[in-house]
Amino acid sequence: MFFERHMAHVIEFFVPGVTEPATVLNIVPLCNNYIKRLNISQLLPPIKNPQKEVVKVKREEEEGEEMYLDLESEPDHDGPYLDHFDFNIVLHKLPNLEELHLVYQVKNCGMNFEWSLFEITDRDCESLGKALKSCLTLKVNATQALSHNGTLLSLNLRLNCLQDEGGEAIAGALLRNDSLCHLHLGANELTGHTAAMLAKALRQNKTLRSINLSFNKLGVVSNSSIFTASLWFLMSGSV
């Protein structure tokens, strides 16, 4: 718990462009084997320092000459300012990480509130996607998102080594999800236990149209359970 909280604290107060990455990397060898859960409650953006635009404003004429004042103004900016902490530098160094919870926000900002403090950039999405791809032990982040997401239509989790613990979590999420149509769970070391859980989920889930379970160790009985559940799904008229 101490190491998890300490790592989370360092990341939460990391300021891109100001804090050195070594601040995070130096503590990794000390705590990497003890971190199974990271709960990141805020991510600080870079210190905003946009270039000033000089605007000439006409003053009253004095003795027949036009006088101008140079005024500084901030340029218009519609989107978030730059990026937040890059998880690429650390996630792959945490071999036992199973849960990742993070929020792109700044807590206790008070009178300094701006919508940009609660936004995520395109590069944030790209870097987080790469970081998650390199972290093969994560289980809970995907299942929690799947439980509450109402827009996701297709999810590919092949080659993630979910095993039965992760597979059971996915099955539980399918009981609450009402949008997913296509799910790929190929090559995840799943066995008959997961197949049984998925079969139960298929009896209640009304939106899933296809599920890929190739290259798993489900067994003949488990395959039969999946087939029976799928047949029941088709006969129910949900398709």
Distance between CA atoms of residues 66 and 61, nearest Å = 5
Distance between CA atoms of residues 35 and 95, nearest Å = 8
Strands (E), 41-199: 53-58, 68-73, 99-102, 154-156, 182-184
Which residues make Cβ contacts (< 8 Å) with residue 138, sequence separation at least 6? 97, 98, 99, 100, 132, 160
Residues counted in the chain? 239
Judged against a pLDDT cut of 80, whether residue 58 lies above it is answered with no
The letter for the amino acid at 8 is A
Backbone φ/ψ region at 94: left (φ over 0), alpha (ψ -120 to 50), beta: beta
| pLDDT number for residue 226 | 63
Model confidence pLDDT, tens digit, residues 82-121: 589 999 999 999 999 988 888 888 999 889 888 888 887 8
| pLDDT number for residue 81 | 47
Task: Catalogue all structural domains in the chain, each as residue range(s) with its CATH number.
Answer: 1-49+81-135 (no CATH), 139-239 (3.80.10.10)
Share of the chain above pLDDT 70, in %: 73
Question: Which of helix, strand or coil describes residue 123?
Answer: helix
| pLDDT number for residue 34 | 94
Identify the weakest region by mean pLDDT among 52-56, 62-66, 91-95, 188-192. Answer: 52-56
Judged against a pLDDT cut of 70, whether residue 68 lies above it is answered with no
| pLDDT number for residue 231 | 53
- pTM for this model (two decimals): 0.54
